[in-house]
Amino acid sequence: MSLGSVWFVGAGPGDPELITVKGRRLLGEAGAVLYAGSLVDEACTRYCPPTCELRDSKDMTLEEIDAWLAAAASRHLVVVRLQTGDPGLYGALAEMTRGLDAAGIEWAVVPGVSSALASAAAAGETLTLPEVTQTVIFTRVAGRTPMPPGESLRDLAAHRSTLCIFLSITLLHEVRDELLEAGWSLDAPVLVVHKASWPGQEIIVRGTLADIKRRCQDAKIASQAMIIASPALGARAWESLARSKLYDPTFSHRFRKRQETPT
């Protein structure tokens, strides 16, 4: 019996138009789609053909997901596991593909736009800035899933780079405490975006370590939110910025020669 292929497709942050062209094409070819209904906007499933088998995975265990994907691959050439954001970020990709490997079922990943990137875009912010921060850390606060040694938020925050903190909106008090212990100030800017890019549901909250928890409570944000703490937040309103060398006329690269500065 020939088996179909399973595609792990990143649906993006919420806006159905932010799925990749390849991801949309695969949905249009799919005989079966298993989607994370608690996180993925169901509008993405509108790209599926009318005959497509659709199943919401929000009430399923890993074993049930494995069994469903394997069974679907025995009936269809194209099976899609549709996940929020990018499948490689907090998407249990390694767990779900082990069963497929054992069953000899081919699989591949189509990356998606992360909510971290969509949140920065929604707020008009940059995650990197010359001479301020050139590093972005994707992380979370320890909850029921512990953090590995050396990856506490306090340890990571000590780098003073951009922090994109997933799955932690109910732990904002811990975010504040960990960043303060790492040397951040109470007036350090913090951005929280709820349901970034979701049509009609996106909420953007700006504050500082001192007041971001209260501001989020006032906005009734308790789930599906990205927390960004960064020394680059608000940079477009600063009086001056260090110029990017790529666009500096006094900087040479292989496409443009250095211009002499006026005397």
| Domain residue spans of the chain | 5-110, 115-235
DSSP state of 62: H
Superfamily of domain 115-235: Tetrapyrrole methylase, C-terminal domain (3.30.950.10)
Residue 43 burial by Cβ neighbours in a 10 Å radius (0-12, 13-18, 19+): middle
Mean pLDDT computed over 189-205: 96
d(CA 4, CA 33): 13
pLDDT at 240: 81
Residue with tokens 């910025």: 241
Mean pLDDT computed over 139-167: 93
Q: Does residue 165 sit in helix, strand or coil? A: strand
CB 261 within 8 A of CB 250: yes
- For 5-110, CATH number out of 3.40.50.1820, 3.30.70.980, 3.40.1010.10, 3.30.465.10 equals 3.40.1010.10
Helix H or strand E segment including 115: helix 115-123
Quick check: pTM over 0.75?
yes
Banded model confidence at residue 234, pLDDT cuts 50, 70, 90: very high
Residue with tokens 């707020």: 123
Residue 145: pLDDT over 90? no
Per-residue model confidence as pLDDT tens digits over 38-59: 778 777 889 999 999 999 999 9
pLDDT at 101: 96
d(CA 181, CA 255): 45
pLDDT at 44: 82
Residue with tokens 């922090």: 163
Per-residue model confidence as pLDDT tens digits over 100-133: 999 999 999 999 999 999 999 999 999 999 999 9
- What does the buried/exposed string (b/e) look like for 136-162 if buried means 16 or more CB atoms within 10 Å of the residue's CB? bbebbbbeeeeeeeeebbeebbeebbb
